[in-house]
Structure 1
Amino acid sequence: MFKPNQYVKPSTYTTAIVDGNTGSIRFNTADVRAETEAATDPSVYVQALVDAAEEYLNGDEWREEAMERTPCEFRPAGSEATGQQIIAMADRTVTFDPRRNWDNQTIDKGEVLAGSMIFTEATDTALVISHRATILDHNIQAGFTEGSLAQTADKILRDIELSAAGKIAAILSTAPSTESISEAKPTGKPVEIAEDLIDILTMNINQTVGTSLADFVVLLPVSLLPVLERAAQRAGVEDIETLIGAGVQPYNGTDHGLFLLPKMFTSLSYRERANGDIWKIEATRNGNHQCWDLEIMAVVDIVANGKVRVKLTADGLQTETVAFPMITNIKLT
């Protein structure tokens, strides 16, 4: 017999109810532990997300995929972004801010001859990738599965990728070495739009840094993905990259147009932390709101300022270093 007003926890761990419907009532005879109640424990859910993000983002797999998506490097903590040097493959006239030569002539354009050395520097703006997800306890305590956890992790990483690419596109759109070109926006069915886009990209290849689309990575608005994917299906090819003949990196946010990033130059320089990791992943308990805050951060420099020396005098004794149009930005109007 229980004494009045005295609580005694049940001694039976589970009680099964079997009638027309099947179910069970669970009584916990000990504190809830991760190994017994993992599917309703927010801390287990968050730890699984952190472990998965750490394993992928700070592993070899992410670095390999990052290099496939955009030309990039991963540099040790405390070091500077690596400048690139490459020989121009074709003659090209470049325009620049007016300069005066020794003969008091104002020069605003000069010819860059094939064989001239082009080098790159980091832009004045570095990108801090920082995203936070708030995971409320009551959303997890109802239960979760391995599949739902995997979907959440994939969605978080996908959002980070598209958002970071959008911020990179914004920086590139105003970089001195970005050459902007306007083209009429293609219309019609997906196949027709895709064909016109490929023609536009092909006709605007910068021959000094590449000779075919395969020498570039195309940074494009995510809104074009469904169109290109449908066109790839109709063409019977495996993916968009095969359809276009170049690597593709979509971005979201403001539409800055399409960018042709030359593979011969490193465009992104990721900073490693003191422990060798690129990404910092932290889970912080927010007791005031009964939730966990998951933060994922990284710092990347945009190595996109191309420079070249041009002659200001006929004898070539006076030269100036000027911005070189290395990245092509195609705006669809």
Structure 2
Amino acid sequence: MKPNEYKRPNSYSTAILSPDSGSIQYNVGSVRPEHKAATDASAYVQALQEALDGYLNGEEWREAAAEKTPCEFRPAGSEATGQQIITLADRTVSFDPRKNWDNQVVKKSEALAGSVVFTEQTDTALLISHRVSILDHNLIAGWTEGSMLQTAEKMLRDIEYTAAGKVARILSTAKSTEAFTEATPTGKPQAVAEDLIDLLTVHVNQTVGTSLADFAILLPASLIPILERAAQRAGVEDLEDLIGATVQPYTGTDYGIFMIPKLFTSLSYRQGRNGDVWRVLVTRNAPAQSWDLEILATVDVVANGKVKIALTKDRLQTETVPFPMVTNIKLTRLAS
């Protein structure tokens, strides 16, 4: 064979070392696809696609998703389900100025105890779309089951954190998000964690929850190492035990910390006609000598809370206005 000339092998050799005699034997036979699977890009992509599709469209993922944030999985062609919850306490609601019959401008009024709060989806839906090109030459040296498992876990975490960041962006401009600005806690991790928990506790929306356990906490991933270290110092298993609430990290732009009430469904995943929430697509990209793997899902954010309030004392004139349901705590650094 000439230099740099490729010739397809027609046999394979296996070396067997006998520990007793120290002899080496060689077995020679024809090449089969299963013997080349560890260097075959198509076999890698197929296994990865099947693993991702099996997990994302299985019960295990749905249980994990529902545990992180209140959500629903609705049939194809249906609308997101709005929620109706009776308020537990009086709550002053600020809204765009409205005029009553006496030509008085009303900017604030109370949502009285016993009135119904209902939710609608936001103006913006979320399309989760992640694509990766798996080049043939990156796999020609071989791969293992463990390396593929690590790749799949990394992909799932990236999708989870990135999608949560997109949800945070939508919530940051939602009409029912009530924003507060607080100074960023400083000091050692334990002190910072205690101050953060104090901030969350102070800003509990008593209308939709009475304790931190009634909320899912959406926070920047940069805070995770601090809270985890504080959990270690406190001797608890993880940061969720430390805070006393479900925690969902997100990456991307820092929009602050969000407190999402568990009593309301916040995310509505659209199912396809086959009942799957996620689509895992694989396409051969011949010019690039690669496989393109794309993961898709569509989510509606059901976070616009609304309630009827009275513009007059006799309650004959009412108006539907946005109701503060999601709390957003923006952390700012003090000027030195």
* Closer/same/farther in 2, CA of residues 9 and 67 from structure 1, 3 Å limit: closer
State how many pairs are aligned. 321
Q: TM-score, normalised by structure 2?
A: 0.92
* Closer/same/farther in 2, CA of residues 9 and 240 from structure 1, 3 Å limit: closer
The question of whether the paired residues in 2 share the 8 Å contact of 1:10 and 1:27 is answered with no
Q: Quote the residue 2:141 is aligned against.
A: 142
**Secondary structure, counterpart of 1:98 in structure 2:** strand
Q: Quote the residue 1:271 is aligned against.
A: 270
Q: Quote the residue 1:299 is aligned against.
A: 298
Instruction: List gaps (5 residues or longer) in structure 1.
Output: 1-7
**Secondary structure, counterpart of 1:288 in structure 2:** coil
Q: How far did residue 13 of structure 1 move?
A: 3.7
Q: Which range moved further: 99-108 or 292-301?
A: 99-108
CA distance in 1, matches of 2:281, 2:155: 14
**Secondary structure, counterpart of 1:103 in structure 2:** coil
* Closer/same/farther in 2, CA of residues 86 and 15 from structure 1, 3 Å limit: closer
* 1:1-333 pair list within 5 angstroms: 13-14=12-13, 16=15, 29-30=30-31, 33=33, 35-333=34-332
CA distance in 2, matches of 1:59, 1:53: 10
Counterpart of 2:144 in structure 1: which amino acid?
T
Counterpart of 1:94 in structure 2: which amino acid?
V
Instruction: List gaps (5 residues or longer) in structure 2.
Output: 1-6, 18-22
Q: Quote the residue 1:5 is aligned against.
A: none
* Closer/same/farther in 2, CA of residues 11 and 273 from structure 1, 3 Å limit: closer
After the TM superposition, list the runs of 4 or more consecutive aligned residues in structure 1 that deviate by more than 6 angstroms.
8-11, 22-28
Counterpart of 1:113 in structure 2: which amino acid?
L
Q: TM-score, normalised by structure 1?
A: 0.93
Q: How far did residue 24 of structure 1 move?
A: 11
Q: How far did residue 320 of structure 1 move?
A: 0.2
Q: What is the aligned-residue RMSD (CA, Å)?
A: 2.0
Counterpart of 2:183 in structure 1: which amino acid?
A
Counterpart of 2:159 in structure 1: which amino acid?
I
Q: How far did residue 29 of structure 1 move?
A: 3.8
* Closer/same/farther in 2, CA of residues 13 and 254 from structure 1, 3 Å limit: closer
The question of whether the paired residues in 2 share the 8 Å contact of 1:172 and 1:304 is answered with yes
**Secondary structure, counterpart of 2:82 in structure 1:** coil
CA distance in 2, matches of 1:183, 1:83: 32
Counterpart of 1:228 in structure 2: which amino acid?
L
Percent identity, aligned pairs only, is 68
The question of whether the paired residues in 2 share the 8 Å contact of 1:14 and 1:24 is answered with no
Counterpart of 2:278 in structure 1: which amino acid?
W
